[in-house]
Chains A and B, each alone.
Chain A
Amino acid sequence: MSRRRPGTGSLAADLGRCQLLSLAALAVSGAGGLVIGALLLLPVGVGFLLLPPAATALRRMSDRYRGWAAHRTGTLISPPRPLPPRPAGPGGRRRRALAILGDAGFWHDLRWAWAEPVTGALIAAAPPALVWYGLFGAAVQPFVWRLLGDGNWYAFVLVDSSAAMLAALVLALGFTAAGLRLAPLVLRLHARWSGRLLTAPYTTELVRRIEHLAGSRADVLDIQAAELRRIERDLHDGAQARLVALGMTLDEASRLLDHDPPAARALLQEVRATSQRALQDLRELLHGVLPPVLADRGLGDAVRSLALDSHLDVHVDAALPGRLPAPVESAGYFAVAELLANAAKHSGSPEVRISLSHTAGMLRVTVADDGRGGANADGSGLRGLRRRIEPFDGTLVLHSPRGGPTTATLEIPCASSSPKTSSSSGTG
C-alpha cells in the first residue's frame, strides 16, 4: 500500500489518516489514564476491580495500532502475550489484577500509551495542521486584510498590501501542498515508530520461541513414533507374515517331494508367488519411508517422478542448486505429494504447475491449479503437512478463493549443499 505512487486521492486519504491518528491519541491517553487511575486506586482496593477492564481496553487499543502499523510497514509486529485470564475460584478478580501487574506486556503497553500522544500523535498532527493553516490562509487572507488594516499577520508575513496578500496566498498554498506531501512520509514514520514501541519485549519473543520449539519437538516425536508403529505393523502383517507362510509351504513341498512331485511343484510355484509379493510389500514400505528417487536424485527429480505418476498434467519447474538437507527434502517431497493428491481429488483442474526454487537460504515450493478453489486450509491433510514442516520453521500459505485458482506456497529455511549427482537430465 505505502509503495503506491501517491496520487492526489491517496494523498488526501493519507492526510485523513494523519488527522485520525492525531485524534486517536486522545483515546490512547484516555485508556492510559484509566489504567493510571486504576493503579492509583490500588491502595484503596477499588483499583483491583478497575485494573483488569482498563488493561483490557488499553490492550485493545494497542492491538489496533499494532495491526495498523503492521499493515503499513508490511512486517509482522510480534504481539505481547495475551493478558492473564481471570483465575477460577474466589478472589479471582483480585488475583487477575495481581497477575496483570506482573505481566511485562502490560507495562509495555502502558509505556506506549504514555509515549504515543507526545510523540507519534504529534508527528501525525503536523501534516493536517499545515493543511488546515494553509487552507485557512488561502480562504481568508484575500478578503480580510482590507478589513483588518494593521497587524494582520499570516505566518511570518504582515499582510498590509495586495503584494503581501499574494505572498501570503502563495505561502498558504505552499503549506497545503507541503502538508499533503508530508502525509505519506509521516504515516510511514509513525508506523515504524509505533512498530518499535509496540513490539513485544525480547524475553516474550524468546518465551514464545521456546514454546514453539517444545511444541514442534513433541510433534516430531509423535510423528516419528507413529511412523515407527506403522513400519512395524506393515512389516509384521506384510513381509514377515509372507516369509512365515513361505517357510511353511517349503516345508510342505519338501515333504511331498518324494511321493507326489507334481504337488510339490505346484507348491514351489506358490512359494515363488509369495516371495514376489513379500518383495513387493517391502518395496512399498521402503518407498513410503524414503522414496528411492528422492534418495538418488534429490527433491527436483523426485517431484518430476511424482508428476509423471500423477493423473493430471503436471508441469514442474525445478531450479534447485545441488542437494538440500535430507530431512528438508523428505518433508518437501511428502508435502508436494499431499498437495498434488489434493489437487487431483478436489480441484477439478486438469493441470497443475509446481515450481521449486532455493534462494537466500529458503526453499520455496508452489503448487498451483486453475481448479474450483475453496480448499480448506484446516483439513486434516494440510494440518498434518503443517506439522511436518513446522520443525524446520517452515510455513504453508494456502490461497484458494471460491471459484479458484488455488495456490499453495511452502517455505522452508535451509541451506543447500553442492551437487552430489547431476540432475540436469530432467523430463517433465
Chain B
Amino acid sequence: MRVVLAEDLFLLRDGLTRTLQDHGFDVIAAVDNGPALLRALLEEEPDVAVVDIRLPPTFTDEGLQAALEARRSRPALPVLVLSQYVDQLYAHELLAGGRGAIGYLLKDRITHTTQFVDAVRTVAAGGTVMDPQVIARLLARSDARGTTAHLTPRELDVLRLMAEGRSNAAVAATLFISESAVAKHTAAIFTKLRIEPSADDNRRVLAVLAYLKR
C-alpha cells in the first residue's frame, strides 16, 4: 500500500515512516511542508495519506487545508489527519464530503501502534475513523440535548465505538462481548434513533456521525 506522509518534525517523520514500513506500507513520499504535501497528494496518487495538521510555512492548519484541497479534485482520496488537539470544526470540515475515506486522530494515538495502523488501513479502505475525543464531545452534546436519552448505557458504549469507526469485531473485542451481541445492540440503536440501517460499515458510521452532529 502506497503512503504519502507529511510531518514537519524530523524525529516523528522518521518514526512514523519506520512504523508504517514495519507494517508493510510503502512510504512513497515523506514531506515536511504544505505545498510539497499538496503536490505529492495530487501527483503521486497514494492509496492513503497520513498528514500532520500543523505544517510550515504558516504553522497553522496547512496540512488540513492541503488535504481538503486535494480532496476537492480527488474526492475519495483517503486521508488520515493527525493533530496535537482535535477540534469539532475541523472534524466537521473533514466529514463534510460525507464520503468517508477520512480519519482524524490525536497525535498521541500513534504511540498505540496496532490501533494506529488499523486506523490507516480503515481509512485506506474508504472507512471513517474519528478520535475518541471528537466522539466524546459529540456524545456529551447529544446527552445534554437529550437526543440519545433513550439509549441504555451499554448501547451508548456501542454507539461511541461505532462512531469512532470501529468494526463490529473491534467493538466486541473492546467491550468483551460477542459479535452477535454487538449486532443486537446496533439494531436496537438504529431503531431507537430512527437511522436507516446499513450493512456497509462505513455508511453506518457516517449515518451515526450525521445523527450526532445534528
* Contact string against B for A residues 405-426, beta-carbon threshold 8 Å, 1 for contact and 0 otherwise: 0000000000000001110010
Given contacts A297-B60, A420-B58, contact A311 B141 (CB under 8 A): yes
Give the chain B neighbours of A425 by CB distance below 8 A. Answer: 68, 93
Contact between B87 and A421 (Cβ–Cβ < 8 Å)?
no
Interchain CA distance A425-B90 in the complex, whole Å: 10
- For window 151-181 of chain A, which residues contact chain B by CB distance below 8 Å? none
Give the chain A neighbours of B145 by CB distance below 8 A. Answer: 311
Contact between A421 and B92 (Cβ–Cβ < 8 Å)?
no
User: Which B residue's beta carbon lies closest to that of A350?
Assistant: B145
Q: How large is the interface on B (under 10, 10 to 19, 20 to 34, 35 or more residues)?
A: 20 to 34
* Contact string against B for A residues 276-299, beta-carbon threshold 8 Å, 1 for contact and 0 otherwise: 100110010011000011011100
Interchain CA distance A422-B64 in the complex, whole Å: 12
Contact between B88 and A297 (Cβ–Cβ < 8 Å)?
no
Given contacts A272-B111, A421-B61, A427-B93, contact A292 B87 (CB under 8 A): yes
Selected from A279, A304, A421, the residue in CB contact (under 8 A) with B60 is A421
- The answer to whether A122 has its CB under 8 Å from any CB of chain B is no
Contact between A292 and B137 (Cβ–Cβ < 8 Å)?
no
Give the chain B neighbours of A304 by CB distance below 8 A. Answer: 89
Give the chain B neighbours of A427 by CB distance below 8 A. Answer: 89, 92-93, 96
- The answer to whether A309 has its CB under 8 Å from any CB of chain B is yes
Interchain CA distance A283-B54 in the complex, whole Å: 15
Interchain CA distance A420-B58 in the complex, whole Å: 9
Selected from B54, B87, B108, the residue in CB contact (under 8 A) with A305 is B87
Q: How large is the interface on A (under 10, 10 to 19, 20 to 34, 35 or more residues)?
A: 20 to 34
- For window 294-351 of chain A, which residues contact chain B by CB distance below 8 Å? 295-297, 301, 304-305, 308-311
Given contacts A311-B144, A421-B65, contact A283 B60 (CB under 8 A): no
Contact between B108 and A309 (Cβ–Cβ < 8 Å)?
no
Give the chain A neighbours of B93 by CB distance below 8 A. Answer: 425, 427
Give the chain B neighbours of A309 by CB distance below 8 A. Answer: 88, 137, 141
Give the chain B neighbours of A422 by CB distance below 8 A. Answer: 65
Contact between B85 and A287 (Cβ–Cβ < 8 Å)?
yes
- The answer to whether B73 has its CB under 8 Å from any CB of chain A is no
Contact between B89 and A301 (Cβ–Cβ < 8 Å)?
yes
Give the chain A neighbours of B85 by CB distance below 8 A. Answer: 283, 286-287, 292
Max chain B C-beta neighbours (<10 A), residue from A287, A308, A422: A308
Give the chain B neighbours of A301 by CB distance below 8 A. Answer: 89
The smallest C-beta distance from A119 to any residue of chain B, in angstroms, reads 61
Give the chain B neighbours of A292 by CB distance below 8 A. Answer: 84-85, 87
Give the chain A neighbours of B140 by CB distance below 8 A. Answer: 311
Interchain CA distance A228-B111 in the complex, whole Å: 31
Give the chain B neighbours of A293 by CB distance below 8 A. Answer: 87, 89-90
Interchain CA distance A166-B54 in the complex, whole Å: 90
The smallest C-beta distance from B93 to any residue of chain A, in angstroms, reads 6
Pairs A–B under 8 Å by Cβ, sample size 22: A276-B108, A276-B111, A280-B108, A287-B85, A292-B84, A292-B85, A292-B87, A293-B87, A296-B54, A296-B61, A297-B60, A301-B89, A304-B89, A305-B89, A308-B92, A309-B88, A309-B137, A311-B141, A421-B60, A421-B65, A425-B68, A427-B93
* 13 extra interface residue pairs, beta carbon distance < 8 Å, beyond A295-B60, A308-B92, A311-B141: A272-B111, A276-B108, A283-B84, A292-B85, A293-B90, A296-B54, A296-B60, A297-B60, A305-B87, A308-B89, A309-B88, A425-B68, A427-B96
